[in-house]
Structure 1
Amino acid sequence: MAEIVIRNTNERITGEDNVRAFLNSQEVVYEHWNMEKLPADLRENFQLTDEDKNRILSIYDEEIKDLAARRGYKIWDVITLSESTPNLEELLKKFEEIHTHSEDEIRAIVGGKGIFIIKGSDEVGYFNVELEPGDVISVPENTPHFFTLMDNKKIIAVRLFIEKDGWVATPVADPQFK
């Protein structure tokens, strides 16, 4: 289950209802998928084949199509990152820059852990959303944020897009980021 850390105060928000209420107040969509549906051989496999990725998409087809219908997504894929990913550190440096997109950025975590750092309202400032399998989050368009891996450096996520080219990041220099 996702947890929130408010960066200015180190306040931690836990519990699905509390997390959902906080994220809703920041206009961030949060949902949860049933991880029981995912076979064990796909849960901790961070070197997925294209066939494995297609199996994940097939297993969560209903959930994906529901999100797509509600939010206008047109394409989706599965991404996996781990220490065996070529140029992982270089990729993470690119990910770990504050940016915005012209469409919302959504991740459905199906393996490993990840973290979004998102700029909230003026009274909240930046906050971390620590994600684990089953967590689905959508950061609103034009909201400063970045996504990275947690200490385990492993993740499997379904990504959904409106634009065929995926997200195009626009860097943001924000002196409020700590």
Structure 2
Amino acid sequence: MAEIRLRNTDERIQGEDKVRAFLDKQNVLYEHWEPSKLPEHLQQKFSLSDEDKAAILATYDAEIRDLAGRRSYKTWDIIALSESTPNLDELLKKFENVHTHTEDEVRAITAGRGIFIIKGDDETGYFDVELEAGDVISVPEGQPHFFTLMDNKQIVAVRLFIEPAGWVAQPYADPAFAK
């Protein structure tokens, strides 16, 4: 289950209802898909074949199509990152800068853990959303954020897009942000 850490107070928000209520106030969609629905051999597998990716997409086909229909997403894929990913540290550095997009950034975590750092309203400031298998999040277009991995550096996620080319990051310089 997702957990939130407010960066300016170090307060933690836990529990699905409290997390959802907080994220709703920040205009961030949060849902939960059943992680045990995924075949057991894929629940902790982070280096995926094309067949593995197709199996994950097939397992969550109804959930993906439901979300896509409600939010006008047109295409989706699977991203899998782990220590076995070539040049993982360089890849993460490229994305560990605050940016925005011209469409929502959506991730449905199917295995592992990741973290979104998101700029909230003026009172809230930046907050971390720690995600694990089953968590689904959509950061709205134009909202400053970035995504990275937790210390174990393992994640598999379904990503949904409006534009087939995917997200294009627009750098967001913010002196208020501190890592």
CA-CA distance at 1:171 after TM superposition: 0.4
Summarize deviations over 1:20-72 as a string: whole Å, max 9, x none. Answer: 00000000000000112101110111110011000000000000000010000
Secondary structure at 1:113 match in 2: strand
Secondary structure at 2:159 match in 1: strand
Count of residues paired in the alignment: 178
Q: Does structure 1 residue 82 correspond to structure 2 residue 71?
A: no
Aligned-residue sequence identity (percent) comes to 71
Quote the residue 1:168 is aligned against.
168
Secondary structure at 2:70 match in 1: helix
Secondary structure at 2:133 match in 1: coil
Quote the residue 2:142 is aligned against.
142
How far apart in 2 are the matches of 1:63 and 1:74? Answer: 14
Quote the residue 1:101 is aligned against.
101
Aligned-residue CA RMSD (Å): 0.4
Quote the residue 2:31 is aligned against.
31
Gaps of 5+ in 2: none
CA-CA distance at 1:95 after TM superposition: 1.3
Letter of the 1:152 counterpart: N
Letter of the 2:26 counterpart: Q
Letter of the 2:73 counterpart: Y
* Dislocated runs of 4+, deviation >3 Å: none
How far apart in 1 are the matches of 2:169 and 2:5? Answer: 24
